[in-house]
Copies of this chain bind each other. A is one copy, B any other.
């Protein structure tokens, strides 16, 4: 077990597991979960599974047995207080605050650059703060295999076995098995592919050669930064300057000078796809169940136990009364909610905004939010 403090260098004989540092980028608002999830209260700060934990807390707890408090949070300055309330054990040195959102490449790249400054041998794993995974043990087994595989000089993505021909996720095409000690299920990655059409998604599903790309990966920070340097030199240069100043009194000045000018780009384009082309990417197919809670229909799937008649109810102290109704109610108020004779409805009741839609239209919530934004109704976004 590694109990070394952040900031010191590893001795060369550190095992792959001892080199592991988890990174949790907690940024996305989760627009398709509006009005529950919004700028001031993003998705990762909600308990969307009635588990008693927010998604962020659950993500941290899932990584802790592997990372032993070596977990770096990357989040917006606006969420600092909420994140620290959720995760009181996070040390100041493990909190990276963005002054403004700069997409995933900058967020994850900064984490990699800071960790590299502290210890160039670190193998980092990046895990979104707002996914639902179970059981934790299967997830941890996959991450362990990913760490061993990363130690051989790979960027290792953890793939999700598709359960249906989704057109909402990117896919990972799996290649030959790799012979890695401690990682019996490691395979090469042939390529990442963008969200496909339904017909193509059906082919992918039937072929058995594809996994969903859930954006989870494990890699040596040195290798990650090599790909940043090769593919996004401007971004790389800025991140290195910030990282070099990070643990010094210059941090704020340098961050303020550089961060706002960094390009906004997704990590997939900046690193994952070019690295796959270079043959540097491997995949561990996950055997756990996974849900990105992409819309309110997902909340229905994930909470089917807490039903009032045929209505799934989410929310502490919810007062829901139903008659011949089915669907999902998310109650963020203590109001009485009565449903009569309405099917597959989605109701999200918050103090200043109410959404009423159907499970079939749950994906269109994002468009409604864009519409509200265009109309200037930003007080509820």
**Chain B nearest CB: distance from A331 CB in Å?**
9
Q: Are the CB atoms of A319 and B377 closer together than 8 Å?
A: yes
Q: Which of A140-148, A160-168, A246-254, A353-361 interfaces with chain B?
A: A353-361
Q: Are the CB atoms of B371 and A336 closer together than 8 Å?
A: no
Closest to A377 in B: B336
Q: Are the CB atoms of A338 and B323 closer together than 8 Å?
A: no
- Which residue of the partner chain, among B338, B351, B364, B377, contacts A355 with CB atoms under 8 Å? B338
Interface flags, A325-339, vs B, CB<8A=1, else 0: 000000000011111
Q: Are the CB atoms of B367 and A336 closer together than 8 Å?
A: no
Q: Which of A2-10, A99-107, A226-234, A340-348 interfaces with chain B?
A: A340-348
A27 at the interface (CB under 8 A from B): no
The answer to whether residues A342 and B357 also contact, given A364-B323, A377-B336 and a CB cut-off of 8 A, is yes
Q: Are the CB atoms of A349 and B357 closer together than 8 Å?
A: no
Q: Which residues of B contact A341 (CB under 8 A)?
A: 357-358, 360-361, 364
The answer to whether residues A323 and B368 also contact, given A35-B336, A342-B361, A345-B342 and a CB cut-off of 8 A, is yes
**Complex-state Cα separation, A267 to B367, whole angstroms:** 55
**Complex-state Cα separation, A371 to B364, whole angstroms:** 34
Copies in the complex: 2
**Chain B nearest CB: distance from A351 CB in Å?**
8
Q: Which residues of B contact A338 (CB under 8 A)?
A: 35, 353-357, 365, 368, 372
A223 at the interface (CB under 8 A from B): no
A276 at the interface (CB under 8 A from B): no
Q: Are the CB atoms of A340 and B368 closer together than 8 Å?
A: yes
Closest to A341 in B: B361
Closest to A356 in B: B339
Closest to A365 in B: B340
**Chain B nearest CB: distance from A373 CB in Å?**
11
Closest to A375 in B: B321
**Complex-state Cα separation, A360 to B341, whole angstroms:** 8
Q: Which residues of B contact A181 (CB under 8 A)?
A: none
**Chain B nearest CB: distance from A354 CB in Å?**
5
Taking each of A339, A342, A360, A367, which has the highest tally of chain B beta carbons within 10 Å of its own beta carbon?
A: A342
A352 at the interface (CB under 8 A from B): yes
Additional pairs, 5, CB under 8 Å, beyond known A338-B368, A349-B354, A354-B354: A321-B368, A321-B371, A323-B368, A323-B371, A336-B377
Of the A-B pairs whose beta carbons lie under 8 Å apart in the complex, a sample of 14, sorted by A's number, is: A321-B371, A324-B361, A336-B352, A337-B354, A338-B354, A338-B368, A339-B356, A340-B368, A341-B361, A342-B356, A342-B358, A347-B356, A349-B354, A354-B354
